[in-house]
Amino acid sequence: FSETEKIPVMRGQWFIDGTWQPLEEEESNLIEQEHLNRFKGQQLQESFDMEVSKPVDGKEAIHSLKLSRNHVDWHSVDEVYLYSDATTSKIARTVTQKLGFSKASSSGTRLHRGYVEEATLEDKPPQTSHIVFVVHGIGQKMDQGRIIKNTAMMRDTARKIEEKYFSNLATHVEFLPVEWRSKLTLDGDTVDSITPDKVRGLRDMLNSSAMDIMYYTSPLYRDELVKGLQQELNRLYTLFCSRNPEFEEKGGKVSIVSHSLGCVITYDIMTGWNPVRLYEQLLQKEEEELEDRWMSYEEQHLLEELYITKQRLREIEERLHGLKASTISKPPVLKFKVENFFCMGSPLAVFLALRGIRPGNSGSQDHILPRTICNRLLNIFHPTDPVAYRLEPLILKHYSNISPVQIHWYNTANPLPYEHMKPSFLNPTKEPTSVTDSESASAVPSPTTSPVMVRRHYGESITNIGKASILGAASIGKGLGGMLFSRFGRSSTTTSQTLETGKDGAESEEKKATTVGTPPFPHSSSGFLEPAVELEHRIDFELREGLVESRYWSAVTSHTAYWSSLDIALFLLTFMYKHDQEDTDKSNLEAI
């Protein structure tokens, strides 16, 4: 809400049964005073959230209170009814009582006291040991309060999970919304002014949502989006620490939950990635290619002079940066260390692939996100979310054939810990296709050279729509951005394939996959994998599909269905409470 809006904060003491709407404060105070004078010290028979007992039939009121337009009857300490004294209500009450109905059941409104125990000065919420910044993706301009509502939903579901599974812990996780989009000016109203009037509603919706992807791929506006999120994260952290001074002293931790495009922006802030760096790498690559080809004496001489000049320029820049660094200490990009980075419905893998990230030989998360920056990266997605992509195959290529880890249902009894779950094939019964002798001799089962097996594709047409839209938006820029994505995205190795969208590209990819064989990985008869190289920690985690869920309808709704999921709430808290739970279990064992 805007700062000009004023929202009254009222104290609720007495509430109407069913709707739980609070009574007016003036009436509530009078009823509370009368209740304390008459019943203070007596034992209550029902708790705050119990089902309402049957109406009191024939039981006389033991105490009454006359108000201006109503009166209140107490039939017991916890059976209180409000009656209207309007003429029509009196007539209706008289008629129904003559018909044999009780006064309470005919016209009374049952009231509930807001709490069952008096508060003390020692009462306080549990100490916050972990804060979670919740970062939105595209579409926030269309509904500026959406991230606040979504975070409230995530917080509510997390509270239910905390009460059920983590009530033995004395610590608490707090979720804070990060709204970074509404304060940005970007192009002002230029895009709106060039938008045609036909189907204006649809165009405005796209301008307020998908346009954010285009802004982020623009060299002109990208920095504004990055700085907007970075400054808001630091502002909220500073504000929280000022109001909770013990948080840093007691080693409080910070995690980030990002959705959609917010994952990409958060990643770039943490790693300091910049397209200029990619452009420099591209120029260096072109210089190496120039050195390999034949050239005349004059060309060679000019190239040597250019190399010496660039080397001299770099030395001067380094000296200049050294002088600045000695006088001004550059503050860190973020004022806190990120413990866990949770991506939800994230296209981050596509952006990294287009930046030239290719699988390596090590199973370390450091290949895409160093552990010194963020302790743990976790990629959460719904299997039919068209915007979400996997990250594990960017670290080890053969993980494209391995199923993501299935997220447990929140009500699963004694679930297997995620670190003990063995990797398994997407399709264990799939046999590799035949290859020629020469191909099979050269094909070595390596994480970087193994081609991808033909995999099952569900909801393919819908998923291709999402894929095409992201790839299309990511390659819109013609200048620097266009050159980066088109030039650097190509790989010189024989194993990489050109990304193509459309029917022809898909057909050629399928044909290529069926003609090239995949060397078999060692695995047991159960379909579990026993590879030579494994990931240190699993990164891709997949929600389970509903039993009666339509995949095509789910593809439309799944991208925004993460916020209220109890499964996700349990998953997040499992990793954030991991060390606290281990410490509690250890102390319990020592006590035994």
Backbone angles phi, psi at 396, to 5 degrees: -130, 120
- Name the nearest CA neighbour of 81 among 45, 50, 112, 43: 112
Whether residue 366 is predicted with pLDDT greater than 90 in this model: the reply is yes
Pick the catalytic residue from 28, 255, 260, 558.
Answer: 260
Predicted confidence band of residue 11 (pLDDT cuts 50, 70, 90): confident
How much is the pLDDT for 480?
40
Residue where one domain finishes, among candidates 75, 90, 113:
113
Question: Could you tell me if 139 and 173 lie in one domain?
Answer: yes
Asked if residue 201 is part of any domain, the answer here is: yes
- Is the pLDDT at 238 greater than 90, yes or no? yes
Do 35 and 148 sit in the same domain of this protein? no
Q: Is residue 29 part of a domain?
A: yes
pLDDT at 153: 94
Q: Hey, which of 133-142, 419-428, 565-574 has the most confident mean pLDDT?
A: 565-574
Residues 6+ apart with CB under 8 A from 29: 13
Q: Is the pLDDT of residue 118 over 50?
A: yes
pLDDT of res. 158: 95
pLDDT reported for residue 67: 85
Q: In this predicted model, what pLDDT tens digit does every residue of 163-188 receive, in sequence order? A: 899 988 878 899 999 998 888 878 77
- Number of C-alpha atoms within 13 angstroms, CB side, residue 389? 20
User: What pLDDT does 279 receive?
Assistant: 66
For residues 196 and 92, membership in a common domain is answered with no
pLDDT of res. 533: 84
Would 497 be classed as within a structural domain?
Answer: no
If we measure between CA atoms, which residue out of 573, 543, 563, 565 comes closest to residue 165? 573
* 47: pLDDT strictly greater than 70: no
| Residue-by-residue DSSP string for 115-140 | -SS---TT--PPEEEEEEEEE--TTT
Comparing CA positions, the residue from 133, 130, 131 lying closest to residue 169 is 130
Is the model's pLDDT at 386 over the cut of 60?
A: yes
Report for 28-37, 288-297, 471-480: range of highest mean pLDDT: 28-37
Is the pLDDT score of 551 beyond 80? no
Is residue 73 pLDDT above 50, yes or no? Answer: yes
Average pLDDT of 147-159?
93
State the pLDDT at residue 114: 75
Q: Are residues 105 and 138 in the same domain?
A: no
At 526, is the pLDDT very low, low, confident or very high (cuts 50, 70, 90)? very low
pLDDT tier at 358, thresholds 50, 70, 90: very high
Mean pLDDT of the chain: 75
Beta bridge partners of 592: none
CA torsion sign for 562, 565, 568, 573 is positive
- For residue 386, the domain's CATH number is 3.40.50
Asked if 547 and 570 sit in the same domain, the reply is yes
Question: Which tens digit of pLDDT belongs to each residue from 274-286?
Answer: 887 666 666 666 6
What's the number of domains the chain is made of?
2
64 is catalytic: no
pLDDT of 69: 80
Residue that wins the pLDDT comparison between 30 and 98: 30
516 by Cβ neighbours in 10 Å (0-12 / 13-18 / 19+) ranks as middle
Instruction: Say whether both 358 and 401 belong to one domain.
Output: yes
Arithmetic mean of pLDDT, 370-390: 94
Token pair, residue 101, equals 């109905």
Residue 40 has pLDDT above 60, yes or no: yes
Output 268 or 211, whichever has higher pLDDT: 268
Q: How confident is the model at residue 513 (pLDDT cuts 50, 70, 90)?
A: very low
Would you say residue 477 lies in a domain?
no
Would you state the pLDDT for residue 197?
Answer: 87
For 486-526, the DSSP string reads IIIT--SSSS------SHHHHHHHHHHHHHS--PPPPB-TT
Domain limit, last residue, from 63, 85, 113: 113
> Angle between the 261-271 and 222-243 helix axes, to the nearest 10 degrees?
80
The verdict on residue 194 lying in a domain is yes
Same domain, 105 and 136: no
- Judgement on whether residues 87 and 196 belong to the same structural domain of the protein: no
Does residue 359 have a pLDDT over 90? Answer: yes
Residue length of the chain: 592
Whether pLDDT at 17 is above 60: yes
Percent of the chain residues topping a pLDDT of 90: 30
For residue range 404-453, list pLDDT tens digits in order: 999 999 999 889 999 999 888 886 544 444 444 444 433 344 333 344 44
Averaged pLDDT for residues 99-116: 66
Q: Residues 104, 27: one domain?
A: yes
Whether residue 247 is contained in a domain is answered as yes
Measured CA to CA, the distance from residue 44 to residue 38 in angstroms comes to 13
Pair 249, 198 in one domain: yes
Q: Are 271 and 346 part of one and the same domain? A: yes
Alpha carbons 259 and 177: distance in angstroms, whole number: 12
More confident residue, 87 or 255: 255
- What are φ and ψ of residue 51, in 5° steps? -65, 145
pLDDT category, 102, cuts 50, 70, 90?
Answer: low
Let me know if residue 579 belongs to a domain.
yes
pLDDT category at 525 given cuts 50, 70, 90 is very low
Residue 79 belongs to what domain range?
Answer: 14-39+55-113
pLDDT tens digits for 391-413?
Answer: 999 999 999 999 999 999 999 98
What is the Cα–Cα distance from 140 to 209, expressed in whole angstroms?
Answer: 7
* Residues 208 and 59 both lie in one domain: no
Sheet holding 405-406, edge to edge: 171-178, 127-135, 253-259, 338-344, 374-381, 540-542, 405-406
DSSP 135-171: E--TTTTTSTTHHHHHHHHHHHHHHHHHHHHSTT-SE
Provide mean pLDDT across the span 144-153. Answer: 88
**Highest-pLDDT range among 239-253, 424-438, 553-567:** 239-253
Strand, helix or coil for residue 535 = coil
The single residue listed with the structure tokens 């078999």 is 520
Radius of gyration of the chain, Cα coordinates, nearest whole angstrom: 31
Residue 463 lies in a domain: no
CA distance 564 to 544: 15
The better pLDDT of the pair 76, 417 is held by: 417
pLDDT in tens, 330-349: 556 899 999 999 999 999 99
Mean pLDDT of 81-88: 78
Query: What is the model's pLDDT at position 572?
Result: 97
Quote the pLDDT of residue 532: 67
Among 65-74, 297-306, 307-316, 505-514, whose mean pLDDT is lowest? 505-514
Most confident of 210-224, 364-378, 416-430, 453-467: 364-378
Specify the pLDDT at position 109.
Answer: 85
What is the pTM for the complete model shown?
Answer: 0.64
Region 312-317 average pLDDT: 86
The set of residues, in sequence order, having a beta carbon less than 8 Å from that of 362 and lying 6+ positions away, is 395, 533
